[in-house]
Structure 1
Amino acid sequence: MRARYDGLAQWYDERFVADAPPHQPGLLDLLGRGSGPCLDIGCGTGRNFDSIRASGRSVVGLDFSIDQLGRARMRTDGPLFHGDAAALPFADGSFDTAITLWTSTDVDDFGAVLREAARVLRPGGVFVTYGVHPCFNGPHVVYEEDGRRTVHPTYRETGWHTDMPWWAQDGIRRRIGMSHLTLADYLNAVITSGLTVEHFEEPAGQDIPHALALRARKS
């Protein structure tokens, strides 16, 4: 199966990653200090490698897109793996830390990704996920020019969306599509992963939250 970002990696990297700040808001606090390898599930072009290193850890990246991994190689000399986030090619208890950022909208089964993250963590291991806020960011939401959001009654239409009339013609979603979870679906996926949540965060930046993040631990 062709990865959704194959053929778009250079465009995506130059538009969203190359000139971005080194750390996404709140990510370093969620990670905390640590050591050893950190698995970046769905690492894309390496947007968060600097944050992993700044936390004291080393980078291990995994993505389903070969093209994305080619760009990620420019940001690390650590190991990079081609693989499915819902079927990780690692043994149980392989890592002390795992992260996955902005992947809930790009995978078919976010719950499976969380369960796999829990599986490859050692007891006591830290997990951070950070991405689209299900309530205020998704195929049901229109970003207005004055900063307001218009929320359509399609919020409960979960699953994969290939087109919405308000999506920008040159944006990532019109090129790739978007998977949507309700907030309840998102939280239930976390609960059924077996991870113990320590902290939720709506990262700073915009008055209406754009992202939802959490830190959890493997019991």
Structure 2
Amino acid sequence: MRAAYDEIADWYETEFLPGSLPGDPLGIRRAITEQLGPGPGRCLEVGCGTGVHAAQLRELGWSPVGVDLSAGMLRHAAGRLPVARADATRLPLRTGSADAAITVMAHTDMPGYPAVLREVSRVLRPGGRFVHIGVHPAFCGGFADRSDPAAVVVRTGYLDGHWTKASWTDKGVRDKVGASHWPLAGLLTAFLEAGLRLEGFAEGGSPVPTMFAVRTSTASR
């Protein structure tokens, strides 16, 4: 199976990532630190891409492992963390074998995200933590025009829950590989239906949030 990101993996690694804004403008690193917290243990990154978050996970004391569907992206990730090519709806881990899990700006690449959440819940140990960090469902998507840095124009389409390549910029990823949109209520409901307990939230980016993070855990048994 050829993944959409295979065609842009080299561009993503050599042009897109180096061209990203310096620092932590979307609050992603802060969200990883505050919502995931320190290890130790195995932390599974679902949709790890090129593995750019592995170093921070190690700094927090975790032993990161990654899964992704794109062989092209994993070619770059292999030097950063142990990886496996897999469909996130069928994770290649034993039940209860992960101490924590995380996904970073990747859930819109997973059309079956509710099934992914059920798999995450399965592979986590009792009381294990899962942190979702993604684009903000209320302010990012084909319905949102972010070309004005001072405002976001929200058009019809937020409630539709659809896949699209529509994007306000041709400098990013979405116009190249598309994205699945999950309205906020549907996204939060999917966590609950997967057996994940909601524990905390965070937003990042300004003046209108770009990032939305959710901290969850499995039930302790």
TM over 0.5: yes
2:199 corresponds to 1:194:
no
Q: Which runs of 5+ in 2 are unaligned?
A: none
- Does residue 28 (structure 1) correspond to residue 33 (structure 2)? The answer is yes
Could you tell me which residue of structure 2 aligns to residue 92 of structure 1? 95
Distance 1:170 1:202 in 2: 23
CA distance in 1, matches of 2:149, 2:96: 47
Amino acid in the other structure paired with 2:133: Y
1:168 Cα deviation after fit: 2.4
2:180 is aligned with 1:215: no
Q: CA deviation at 1:75?
A: 2.2
CA distance in 2, matches of 1:92, 1:7: 33
Q: Which residue of 1 aligns with 2:72?
A: 67
| Match runs of 1:1-219 below 5 Å | 1-18=1-18, 21=23, 24-76=29-81, 79-162=82-165, 164=166, 167-203=168-204, 205-219=205-219
Number of equivalences: 214
Structure 1 residues 146 and 38: CA distance shift in structure 2, 3 A: closer
SS at match of 1:134: coil
Q: CA deviation at 1:21?
A: 4.5
SS at match of 2:200: strand
**Identical-residue share of aligned pairs (%):** 40
CA contact under 8 A between 1:118 and 1:218: conserved in structure 2? yes
> Gaps spanning 5+ residues in structure 1: where?
none
- Given that 1:140 and 1:153 are in contact with CA atoms closer than 8 Å, whether structure 2 keeps it comes out as yes
The normalised TM-score by structure 2 is: 0.91
Contact 2:136 2:209 in 1 (8 A): yes
CA contact (8 A) 1:17 1:47 kept: no
CA distance in 1 between counterparts of 2:149 and 2:74 reads 36
**Cα distance in structure 2, aligned partners of 1:129 and 1:175:** 23
Query: What CA distance in whole angstroms lies between the structure 1 residues aligned with 2:10 and 2:192?
Result: 36
Shift of 1:170: 4.1
C-alpha separation in 1, matches of 2:67 and 2:94: 14
